[in-house]
């Protein structure tokens, strides 16, 4: 019996691929990005796969999310591409593509929104700051068909009513109190690595 108990102590309850990601590590990684100078640039780049990235010093809002998750051990380029290959018909057809493109698909807000929703990470959108926790992902409609995405981090607004956001809306990777500045279209708590 002792041997069985000892053996059970060393068997993980979930596989490595199913382990939870730490929301505070996600938050810290996003904040760390604000120390790097980045020029907003959404041009198409041919990048390696998996673990590919656009050149240092450039990026868009989705690159904040991609780089943050990559730093905590999850490659959204690979995850989104694999899901799109298996379920292409479920993803938006805004760009006229006939098949997935691992160079760009993960860098598009509607694709990330679809991926997070498909992974069961979607949670309610509210107008209460307390509902948006460090590590959460928020997407917005900026108007005119423009979408945006950022990460809630563990730094409070000056009035202490909500956590702040790390995002890139054109001025580089920044930390701002902007949660309710735009129309929220998605709220995700993506903390579980997929099988």
Residue 117 within any structural domain of the chain? yes
40 is a domain residue = yes
Specify if 195 maps to a domain.
no
Residue 139 lies in a domain: yes
Confirm whether 12 is domain-assigned. no
Task: Decide if 13 is inside a domain.
Answer: no
What per-residue confidence (pLDDT) applies to 50?
97
Rounded Cα distance, 132 and 120, in Å: 17
Give the pLDDT of residue 11.
41
User: Is residue 179 within 8 Å of residue 128, measured between CB atoms?
Assistant: no
Distances (CA, A) of 3 to 8, 13, 14, 191: 9, 18, 21, 34
Distance CA 185, CA 112 (A): 12
Total structural domains in the chain?
1
What range does the domain containing 57 cover? Answer: 19-188
The reply to whether 7 falls in a domain is no
Nearest residue to 184 via CA among 121, 134, 129, 104: 129
Q: Which residues does the chain have with pLDDT short of 50?
A: 3-18
CATH classification of the domain holding 90: 3.90.1720.10
- The answer to whether position 129 is within a domain reads yes
């Amino acid at each position: 019996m002792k041997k069985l108990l000892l053996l059970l102590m060393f068997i993980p309850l979930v596989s490595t691929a199913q382990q939870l990601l730490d929301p505070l590590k996600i938050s810290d990684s996003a904040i760390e990005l604000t120390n790097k100078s980045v020029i907003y640039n959404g041009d198409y780049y041919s990048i390696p796969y998996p673990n590919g990235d656009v050149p240092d010093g450039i990026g868009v809002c989705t690159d904040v999310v991609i780089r943050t998750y990559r730093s905590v051990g999850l490659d959204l380029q690979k995850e989104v591409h694999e899901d799109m290959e298996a379920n292409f018909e479920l993803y938006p057809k805004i760009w006229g593509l006939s098949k997935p493109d691992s160079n760009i698909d993960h860098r598009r807000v509607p694709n990330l929104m679809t991926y997070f929703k498909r992974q069961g990470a979607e949670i309610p959108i509210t107008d209460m700051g307390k509902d948006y926790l460090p590590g959460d992902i928020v997407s917005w409609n900026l108007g005119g068909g423009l979408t945006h995405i950022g990460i809630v981090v563990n730094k409070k607004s000056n009035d202490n009513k909500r956590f702040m956001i790390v995002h890139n809306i054109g001025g580089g990777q920044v930390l701002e109190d902007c949660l309710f500045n735009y129309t929220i279209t998605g709220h995700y708590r993506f903390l579980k690595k997929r099988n």
